Amino acid sequence: MSSTGVRLPDSFKSPALSAHMPANRFQAVVRAPNATYTEGQTCILRMTPFPNAFFDPMSLRVSGTLTTTGAGSTDQNLNFNGSAHSLFSRILYSSGSQQETCPAFPAIMNTLQQLTMSPADYAASVRKNGGSEIGSGPNIGARVQSGTVAVPNTFSIGLLGSFAEIQRPVPAMFDLSVELTVAQILDAFVRISGADTGAFTAVTSMVISDLRLTYNVTETSMYPELFPVPQLQYHSRSHQLYSQTLPVGQNGRLDITLPFTASSATNLILIFETLSFEFERCRNGIGSVNPNLQDIQLVHGSKTWPLNPLRVNRLMELMDNNEQAVNDSTAGAVPIANFAIADTVSATAPGYTGNVADRLGTSSLNTSCFRINLDLSKTDHGRDGDNVYTGANLSHNSILTLNFHTALALGYTMRAILVTETVITLDQLTGQMVTTF
């Protein structure tokens, strides 16, 4: 704990305040009420209120130890399904009567990281998110089971959701709970090689222990000057999810109704996961391929995104679109060889060199990470280091038009992830929190 000279956060810019303030900074630790958690069980971590203090929502981390056991007599090497985020199927935030669920938490986290990080940053992130035993790259390797011997793995992961993504200090007086649901074994892991076809039958149990929530808190006598008004508003983002099956033989034009509503939507991200994995169980955006798409377009009333259909079959055009959609010059963390995988290799889609049927039954399918990111925002301004977007107003259902150039050889699940702006209002007098989507 430090007692003096804590630097004032950049979001507190006022001539009445000095660059440094007298304060105590420490890491708050919330321990899980139970010693262990297994498949399907839920853990509620309730944050401790601190008067005259604020905390950094971006510092929220969940850590613990994973141990798996099995009945096999040979090494059964498994990968996390993307990263250690796959250990939890759902995350829910609650404060009083206000609740927010982050659907498909690991799929959204893996997808966002791979779209916005460079390969080096992503590799460093997944090693940290999975613990010291975790490898790097889109195919996240971790030996979590070796015969009948329990092999523990540590992990520490960041969180998603409107409250966890506020980029400014927040008063630590509010009653906030984080609820995590442990995933099923078959959804948490994929096998690491084609030879390990018995991996899932050999792994009989998964136990998470020493589960805890940590975050950084700063206590200061200058709290009244930092938060002088009763009501505080914060800009953040949230996510919505919709899934639909694309059957074998699908061809030509397909119009899909997306039941999203949002006052300000900034991005629509699409991933396509094959239905023919058996042991691979590739989920969470790992194993996503191009299902022979020629072009796509989102339609809402008289408006379309993009203005002209995006030519998905032109590989470089799509990768350039994905860069612009995150306002970044990086092509993302996925190598072209792992991005350029289609259901069927065709001259209609130059640049796509991998055929998904050739990868079934091998670990190479786990490295396929195809994504589409449509930019729905109108402007990008800067204000005190915050990005302020004016997103699309989706007041009712939208239509996603998909055009296929070749009939599908396999079936797919399409996951559509809508990224939206949110405004969180905190009332210091009542202790209430209201989120507007």
| pLDDT of res. 326 | 79
More confident residue, 147 or 171: 171
Name the DSSP class of 211.
E
Q: Reduce the DSSP state of residue 316 to 3 states and report it.
A: helix
More confident residue, 102 or 293: 293
Q: Do 248 and 364 belong together in one domain?
A: yes
Q: Do 13 and 137 belong together in one domain?
A: yes
In a domain, 436, yes or no: no
Q: Do 318 and 269 belong together in one domain?
A: yes
Residues in contact with 163: Cβ distance below 8 Å, sequence separation at least 6, in sequence order: 57, 93, 95, 100, 176, 236, 424, 435
Average pLDDT over residues 413-431: 89
Q: Which two tokens stand for residue 252?
A: 């030509």
Q: Which two tokens stand for residue 229?
A: 């008004």
pTM of the predicted structure, to 2 decimals: 0.83
What's the chain's average pLDDT? 78
Average pLDDT over residues 413-422: 91
Length of the chain: 437
C-alpha atoms less than 13 angstroms from C-alpha of 69 in its C-beta half-sphere = 6
Determine what percent of the chain is predicted with pLDDT higher than 70.
Answer: 70
Strand pairing report for 177-182 and 20-21:
unpaired
Name the DSSP class of 67.
E
Average pLDDT over residues 210-215: 96
| pLDDT of res. 59 | 92
Average pLDDT over residues 96-105: 80
Among the candidates 229, 245, 273, a domain finishes at 229
Q: Do 284 and 383 belong together in one domain?
A: yes
* pLDDT tens per residue across span 256-299: 999 999 989 999 999 998 765 443 445 566 678 899 999 999 99
Q: Do 220 and 315 belong together in one domain?
A: no
More confident residue, 148 or 113: 113
pLDDT > 60? residue 140 = no
* pLDDT tens per residue across span 230-249: 888 888 888 999 999 999 99
What span, in angstroms and rounded, lies between the C-alpha atoms of 44 and 366?
32
The CATH number covering residue 42 comes to 2.70.9.10
| pLDDT of res. 167 | 84
| pLDDT of res. 27 | 94
More confident residue, 100 or 279: 100
Average pLDDT over residues 376-404: 73
pLDDT band at 22 (very low <50, low <70, confident <90, very high): confident
C-alpha atoms less than 13 angstroms from C-alpha of 382 in its C-beta half-sphere = 3
In a domain, 429, yes or no: no
pLDDT band at 406 (very low <50, low <70, confident <90, very high): very high
Q: Do 47 and 188 belong together in one domain?
A: yes
pLDDT > 50? residue 15 = no
| pLDDT of res. 95 | 84
16 phi, psi to nearest 5 deg: -80, -10
**Bond prior to 306 in cis (omega within 30° of 0):** yes
Among the candidates 211, 229, 247, a domain finishes at 229
Q: Do 212 and 253 belong together in one domain?
A: no
pLDDT band at 150 (very low <50, low <70, confident <90, very high): low
More confident residue, 75 or 20: 20
Domain count, the chain: 2
The CATH number covering residue 256 comes to 2.60.120.730
In a domain, 432, yes or no: no
In a domain, 375, yes or no: yes
In a domain, 435, yes or no: no
* pLDDT tens per residue across span 24-63: 889 999 999 999 999 999 999 999 999 899 999 989 999 9
Q: Do 349 and 391 belong together in one domain?
A: yes
What span, in angstroms and rounded, lies between the C-alpha atoms of 109 and 402?
25
pLDDT band at 12 (very low <50, low <70, confident <90, very high): low
Residues in contact with 13: Cβ distance below 8 Å, sequence separation at least 6, in sequence order: 384
Q: Which domain, by its residues, includes 134?
A: 6-229
Q: Please name which of 215, 261, 268 lies closest in space to residue 377, comparing C-alpha atoms.
A: 268
| pLDDT of res. 304 | 94
Most confidently modeled of 1-15, 84-98, 187-201, 352-366? 84-98
| pLDDT of res. 344 | 87
Average pLDDT over residues 192-197: 44
Q: Do 171 and 190 belong together in one domain?
A: yes
| pLDDT of res. 133 | 33
In a domain, 132, yes or no: yes
* pLDDT tens per residue across span 60-82: 999 998 887 665 544 455 667 77
Q: Do 245 and 344 belong together in one domain?
A: yes
Residues in contact with 247: Cβ distance below 8 Å, sequence separation at least 6, in sequence order: 408, 411
* pLDDT tens per residue across span 312-350: 999 889 988 988 887 665 556 677 777 888 888 888 888
Q: Do 142 and 110 belong together in one domain?
A: yes
pLDDT > 50? residue 16 = no
In a domain, 431, yes or no: no
| pLDDT of res. 9 | 54
Q: Do 35 and 58 belong together in one domain?
A: yes
pLDDT > 50? residue 382 = no
Among the candidates 229, 263, 295, a domain finishes at 229
In a domain, 415, yes or no: yes
